[in-house]
Structure 1
Amino acid sequence: MPSQEQLSALLAPHTTVLLTVECQQGVVGERGALPELAREARSSGALANVARLVGAAHRSGVQVVHAIAERRPDGRGANRNARLFRAAERLPVQQLSGTAAVRVAAPIEVAEEDIVVRRLHGLSPIQGTGVDPLLRNLGCRTLVVTGVSANVAIPNAVFDAVNRGYTAVVPSDAVAGVPAEYTPAMIRNTLALVATVATTEEVLGCLERPRLRPA
């Protein structure tokens, strides 16, 4: 774990972006397509911690980006080259563009200044989605990655961020996957090798810390 001073240096508000990954009603909502994942995100406190981090980001001037996975009703442009995609087509809740399933889930609050990025294909919230140029235009140097799932999208986001030169920070208790024991093992044995791992409380302590404005 980094020291609070080290973490605070990484999380300067004007160079930090908070990314929420697939925190949408059709994924982590009470009637989501993947009930086991939704239950874990809620019962573990991960979704609540994402909401706390988003609230702190709004108060401290940190830009928030919400990455949403969706598909067209006709499926055009969507992947079918992996079991995951084909299984998703048979789920009772579909992540269809324009439906409630692709709205950001409570208790996360979306502010007017937040950016919502929607993707119709692939596994990553960064690769091929336009998020990378948005981050560069925002002056981002540190990307805080939160949300679901620890099985697929979260490691994709962290690897893509690191490959593009960003420093990734992962609040370990603001990420969820299934089964429950997989998430801490994956973070400890994989993400900790390439990202700065902290807790929600540690990140909140940095975001809510009074700072001098840059000259």
Structure 2
Amino acid sequence: MPSVEQLREILDPATSVLLTVECQQGVVGPESALPELAEEARASGALANVARLVAAAHLAGVQVVHAVAERRPDGRGANRNARLFRAAERLPVQQLSGTTAVRVAAPIEVADEDFVVRRLHGLSPLAGTDVDPLLRNLGCRTVIVTGVSANVAIPNAVFDAVNLGYTAVVPADAIAGVPADYTPALVRHTLALVATVASTKDVLGAWKRPRRTG
């Protein structure tokens, strides 16, 4: 684990971006297409921690980017080259463009200065989307990855961020996947090898300005 000073340097508000991944109503909301994942995101406190991080980012002047996965009603342009995509087509709740399913879910608040980046294909919020060029134009050096799922999109986001030259930070209690014991195993055996693993409390503390004495 990095020291407080190291984490504060890595998480400099001027060069950091908080990325929320698929924290949308149709994924983590009450009427989720994936109720087991939605339940885990809420029961584990991960969704609440994402909301805490977003609120703190707004106060600290850290840019927030919400990455949303959706598809056209006609399905044009969507992937069908993996079992996951074909299964998603048959789910009772569809992540269709323009519907409530693809709105960022409560209790996360979207501010006017936030970016909401939508993708119609693939597994990653970075590959083939506007996220990378936006990050570069913002002068970003550190990407804080939060949201769901630890099974697919989160590791994709972390690997892509590292491959693109960013420092990835993962607040381990602000991501979720299924089953519940999979997420800590992923963090310990995979993400910790390429990302700085922290907690929500650590990140919040890094964004607090130290008190002056004397």
TM-score (norm 1): 0.97
Residues 171-190 of structure 1 aligned to structure 2 (within 5 Å): 171-190=171-190
Between the aligned partners of 1:165 and 1:209, the Cα distance in structure 2 is 27
- Percent identity (aligned): 82
Name the counterpart of 1:52: 52
Aligned AA for 1:145?
A: V
User: Which secondary structure does the structure 2 equivalent of 1:132 belong to?
Assistant: helix
Between the aligned partners of 1:43 and 1:97, the Cα distance in structure 2 is 28
Name the counterpart of 2:78: 78
Please report how far the alpha carbon of residue 3 of structure 1 lies from its aligned counterpart in structure 2 after TM superposition. Answer: 1.1
Please report how far the alpha carbon of residue 209 of structure 1 lies from its aligned counterpart in structure 2 after TM superposition. Answer: 2.6
1:56–1:208 contact (8 Å) kept in structure 2: no
Between the aligned partners of 1:59 and 1:93, the Cα distance in structure 2 is 34
CA displacement 1:92-143 (0-9 Å, x = unmatched): 0000000000000000000000000000000000000111010000000000
1:145–1:168 contact (8 Å) kept in structure 2: yes
Name the counterpart of 1:209: 209
Q: In the comparison of the two structures, how many residue pairs are matched?
A: 212
Runs of 4+ in 1 over 4 A off after TM superposition: none
Please report how far the alpha carbon of residue 211 of structure 1 lies from its aligned counterpart in structure 2 after TM superposition. Answer: 9.0
Name the counterpart of 2:149: 149
CA displacement 1:11-35 (0-9 Å, x = unmatched): 0000000000000000000110000
Between the aligned partners of 1:162 and 1:30, the Cα distance in structure 2 is 33
Please report how far the alpha carbon of residue 203 of structure 1 lies from its aligned counterpart in structure 2 after TM superposition. Answer: 0.4
Name the counterpart of 2:169: 169
Between the aligned partners of 2:177 and 2:155, the Cα distance in structure 1 is 11
Between the aligned partners of 2:46 and 2:30, the Cα distance in structure 1 is 14
Between the aligned partners of 1:44 and 1:2, the Cα distance in structure 2 is 24
Between the aligned partners of 2:199 and 2:121, the Cα distance in structure 1 is 31
Name the counterpart of 1:90: 90
Q: How much is the aligned-residue C-alpha RMSD, in angstroms?
A: 1.1
> Are residues 1:124 and 2:124 paired?
yes
Between the aligned partners of 1:186 and 1:136, the Cα distance in structure 2 is 28
Aligned AA for 1:151?
A: N
Aligned AA for 1:34?
A: L
Name the counterpart of 2:37: 37
Between the aligned partners of 2:162 and 2:186, the Cα distance in structure 1 is 17
- 5+ residue gaps, structure 2, are none
Between the aligned partners of 1:64 and 1:211, the Cα distance in structure 2 is 25
TM-score (norm 2): 0.98
Between the aligned partners of 2:126 and 2:17, the Cα distance in structure 1 is 13
- Cα 1:175–1:130 change in 2 (3 A) is same
Name the counterpart of 2:101: 101
